[in-house]
Amino acid sequence: MRSIDDCVGVILDTDGVITNTAGLHAAAWKHAIDEFLLERAHHGHGRFRPFDMQADYLRYVDGRSRGDGVRTFLASRSITLPETAPPQDPGAVTVSGLGDRKDRYFLQQVQEYGVAPFASTIAFVRRLRERGVALAAASASRNCKTVLRAAGVADLFEVRVDGWDVLRLGLAGKPAPDLFLEAARRLGVPAQECAVVEDATAGVEAARRGEFGLVVGIDRGGWGAELYRHGADIVVTDLSGTALAAAPSRDVS
């Protein structure tokens, strides 16, 4: 399938594709992780090297579930933490504790700044709806429903698969294709007849591994080459008609 016009279903990632929330996630990660790294440095565990909101976020955290984000980032710094606090040390910093801390900061920001949908994505979704294309919102985030509602766009998608489904159904996180395959299953459309739209390398890779008909990467900050490298068929800066019409496909890039 070479074009979005040939798709029977379209599955859109949420943060960074439907809503302008990737930056809020990145800021919350930085807040929580830098606090932790500073505490470690104060206790003599190496020097403080802050979380980089661009490089660290895109490489280790973007698109992954909360726990996988914590673990992947910590592994990049050769740090291991217990998953949960051992009985003899109830105050220990843990993977789940760090994730919870980040979540509190994220929700504070959502409350403070609100959530904006990308106008070009919403126009794109409305065009597809008029054509009868089946639409799903997919996200590794447990806050997906809250975010879609806060942006006022929850009703545009007949299916939502999110971080709660990942936990409930025991799905493997991105870059495994499970989340998107579950979305296609709920839409009742074979993966080969669906497009996936993603801004994260882990998400693009997940769609490629799931053998989806078309993998569209959204590059909002200069990481287009990485999206192609992880398997995007086309990369666009947004979902406006002009960007899609002008997008070079992987074969010609």
Ligand X SMILES: O=P(O)(O)OC[C@H]1O[C@@H](O)[C@H](O)[C@@H](O)[C@@H]1O
Q: Is 89 a catalytic residue?
A: no
Radius of gyration of the chain (CA): 18
- E-strand ranges in 122-249 read 134-138, 159-161, 194-198, 214-218, 234-236
140 binds ligand X (CB under 6 A): yes
Q: Which amino acid is at 218?
A: I
The residue among 8 and 207 lying less far from ligand X, judged by its C-beta, is 207
The residue among 142 and 209 lying less far from ligand X, judged by its C-beta, is 142
Per-position DSSP letters for 191-213, written without gaps between them: GGGEEEEESSHHHHHHHHHTT-S
Distances (CA, A) of 242 to 11, 224, 236, 237: 20, 17, 10, 10
Provide the minimum distance between the beta carbon of 9 and ligand X in the complex, in angstroms, as a whole number. 20
Site for ligand X in 186-215 (CB under 6 A): 200
Provide the minimum distance between the beta carbon of 173 and ligand X in the complex, in angstroms, as a whole number. 9
Q: Is 178 a catalytic residue?
A: no
Select from 137, 146, 205 the least CA-distant residue to 172. Answer: 205
Indicate which single residue of 25, 30, 31, 160 sits in contact with ligand X (rule: CB under 6 A): 25
How does strand 234-236 pair with strand 214-218? parallel
63 binds ligand X (CB under 6 A): yes
Point out which span in 47-55, 134-142, 219-227, 229-237 binds ligand X (CB under 6 A). Answer: 134-142
What is the CA 113 to chain-centroid distance, rounded? Answer: 20
143 binds ligand X (CB under 6 A): yes
- Which residues participate in catalysis according to the annotation? 13, 15
Q: List interacting residues with ligand X (CB under 6 A).
A: 15, 25, 61-63, 65-66, 69, 103, 139-143, 163, 200
